[in-house]
Structure 1
Amino acid sequence: MDCSICTSMPVILRPPRNTICEACYEGARAIIDLVNNHLHSHDDQFGTDCQPNSCKTLGHVARWMSDKKAMENAIKEELSFLRAGFFTALRDQIHTDIQLKPANNGLSIPAHRAILATRSQIFKNMLDSDVCKAPPMDAITLPELSYEELECLLEFLYIGSLPTEKVNKHVNSLSLAADKYEIPYLSKFCERHMLGSLSSSNALDVLEISDVCSYISLKETALKFIVNNMDEIAFSARFEEFAIKNPHLCVQITRASLMGAKKV
């Protein structure tokens, strides 16, 4: 059956607009149902009055999508406004009231107590302590971070994101910092990045970090990846170093490999 929507005929030769094939009809119904289900679930979530089947045609769907796009653009503008303000405050050291020091007594970085306290419960506890409230104690040392890593941590705390090149370089140290200082969003951010960039060259590092930081899903994925690429990973120089440092993970890799071999 010729279809006025999916036909490859020139416009002048197309069948009437009310001629539609089964695939296009089912596709249109699926789109309309998808939007209505989305509206229904969000009404239930936020306790608003639900209007079943408020999108009755593809025209309604198109208008709904246009409205959503406008909302998305507005949210992007708001985020850009907020991020720019916070980043400017950090970069230009506007009314900073605390110093953060990296490892080896490196150069300190000025920051804002309010930002640190709202982003991390551990920082909040430290800043609420009597020792940190005293005037002479105007610095916090983060001995596990280098100056560059500390810069990245602060940038994330202020704007909630990092350039890809910085994440690639410091994702391991940022994951450990997120775990130590209880920064859940940074943990999720790092976990997503490691999951998306998993490869033979970094799988052992990802497994080690996911074990320390209790990224259960990521650990399972990394373990499975290592087992599936055992020939390449097991004979690398990195594996010898990894085995000495993480014998318990090597046991888990061995057991997973044996279980996988039994299933074949």
Structure 2
Amino acid sequence: MSCCICNAGPYIHGLSRLICSDCFAGAKSIILLANKHKRIKTINNDSFSPSSSNKGFVKALNWVKLQEGKMKLQDEKMTYLSGFATAFRDQIHTDIQVKAGDNEPPIPAHRVILATRSTIFRNMLDSDQCKAPANQTITLPELSHEELDALLEFLYSGSLPKEKMEKHVCSLAISADKYEIPFLQKFCEKEMLGSLNTSNALDILEISDTCKNKNLKETTLSFIVRNMEEIVFSPGFDDFALKNPHLNTQITRASITNNKKRKIGV
């Protein structure tokens, strides 16, 4: 949840921004203190007019109460949705096995969750091969067992712990594209843009090209051009250029275009 007080960043994907618990508690304390002061003033001064002097505080208090209601509803919603994560974690009535490309054992899952999260999974599960017995196995050979576990956890809960997301964001972004999981695509894009730096820019550019993510690619290209010297002379650039000659060409062209703009003062 993005706090509208302590986080001054832009709205994310059009979602409503509320107030975090720390800011809410602080705002509530200030208003309660102010109201206490005004009550004392009212007692000592009969001419004090609540209708005029108290209006702003009443509005503020009502706003805090409204945010409190929204926070409680949001917490209840998250608790309600966490039932899916519990079903995955405790393997409640699982009816499909999902296997990674390594020799690790498959992970039990639920057909309905996979089918509703991804049209590709739905088509796979609608095939004659998967219609038969429960606990049929499907394999995602491009993923390791750990990556598969992270993917399934996201499909059930809609989020991941920060450290797990940072570790697996590359594989998750590719899986989101391959299996057509739009929410995970947006989630990975936000994570990669938020962590973009000179040490991972080339990897992110490669992923954006693989996933045909135009916004991610353009933003990363622009970042690389602004930090051209450090990135071009980094240890991994030669291997990147050999592996991705077309991206190397795009970086060169973007750099030349940027230099021309700078010369003419654009």
Normalised TM-score (structure 2): 0.75
Correspondence for 2:235: 237
Q: 1:71 aligned to 2:70?
A: yes
Correspondence for 1:155: 153
Q: 1: distance between equivalents of 2:221 and 2:61? A: 44
- Residue 204 of structure 1 aligns with an amino acid whose one-letter code is L
Q: 2: distance between equivalents of 1:197 and 1:166? A: 14
Q: Percentage identity across aligned positions?
A: 60
- Residue 191 of structure 1 aligns with an amino acid whose one-letter code is E
Are the aligned partners of 1:179 and 1:187 in contact in 2 as well (CA < 8 Å)?
yes
Q: 2: distance between equivalents of 1:223 and 1:103? A: 32
Q: 2: distance between equivalents of 1:99 and 1:81? A: 25
Deviations 1:48-91 (A, max 9, x none): xxxxxxxx9663354134213312221222212321x2222111
Q: 2: distance between equivalents of 1:141 and 1:255? A: 41
Correspondence for 1:195: 193
Where in structure 2 are the equivalents of 1:27-46 lying within 5 Å?
A: none
Correspondence for 2:94: 96
Deviations 1:153-198 (A, max 9, x none): 0000000000111111110000000000010000000000000000
Correspondence for 2:131: 133
Q: 2: distance between equivalents of 1:175 and 1:244? A: 23
Are the aligned partners of 1:100 and 1:110 in contact in 2 as well (CA < 8 Å)?
yes
* Alpha-carbon distance, 1:215 to partner: 1.8
* Alpha-carbon distance, 1:249 to partner: 0.8
Deviations 1:16-74 (A, max 9, x none): x99xxxxxxxxxxxxxxxxxxxxxxxxxxxxxxxxxxxxx9663354134213312221
Correspondence for 1:114: 112
Are the aligned partners of 1:131 and 1:137 in contact in 2 as well (CA < 8 Å)?
no
* Alpha-carbon distance, 1:216 to partner: 1.2
Shift in CA distance, 148/196, structure 1 to aligned 2, threshold 3 Å: same
Correspondence for 2:17: none
Aligned with 1:104: secondary structure?
Answer: coil
Structure 1 spans left out of the alignment, 5+ residues: 1-10, 19-55
Q: 1: distance between equivalents of 2:91 and 2:139? A: 18
Deviations 1:208-254 (A, max 9, x none): 11111122111111101101111111011211111111111111100
Q: 1:167 aligned to 2:159?
A: no
Q: 1:247 aligned to 2:245?
A: yes
Normalised TM-score (structure 1): 0.75
